[in-house]
């Protein structure tokens, strides 16, 4: 799942996201990759939308669509 948020470091981003997910009774299992937004990279429409929504709200934590299989 892609997640966008503001943070001073990858560790503060992880803690911020963990707290947010815990508010739903969810648990962060792992973090595969943390990146700073590359202004020159062409992200897909969904991720670009997430980035723009996050830019306009420094407190935002934007989660992409989550899909699961049963």
What is the DSSP secondary-structure string of the chain? Answer: --EEE--SSHHHHHHHHHHHHHTTT-------------TTS---HHHHHHHHHHHT-TT-EEE-------
Residue 39 included in any domain: yes
Task: Note down the domain range covering 48.
Answer: 3-63
Give 8-59 pLDDT, tens digit per residue.
Answer: 999 999 999 999 999 999 999 988 889 999 999 999 999 999 999 999 998 9
Overall domain count for the chain: 1
pLDDT of 49-58, one tens digit each? 999 999 999 8
What's the whole-model pTM score?
A: 0.80
Residue 70 lies in a domain: no
43 in any annotated domain: yes
């Amino acid at each position: 799942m892609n997640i966008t948020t503001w943070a001073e470091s990858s560790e503060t981003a992880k803690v911020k996201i963990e707290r947010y997910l815990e508010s739903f009774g969810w648990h962060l299992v792992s973090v595969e990759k943390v990146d700073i937004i590359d202004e020159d990279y062409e992200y897909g429409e969904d991720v670009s939308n997430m980035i723009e929504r996050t830019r306009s709200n420094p407190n935002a934590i934007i989660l992409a669509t989550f899909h699961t299989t049963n």
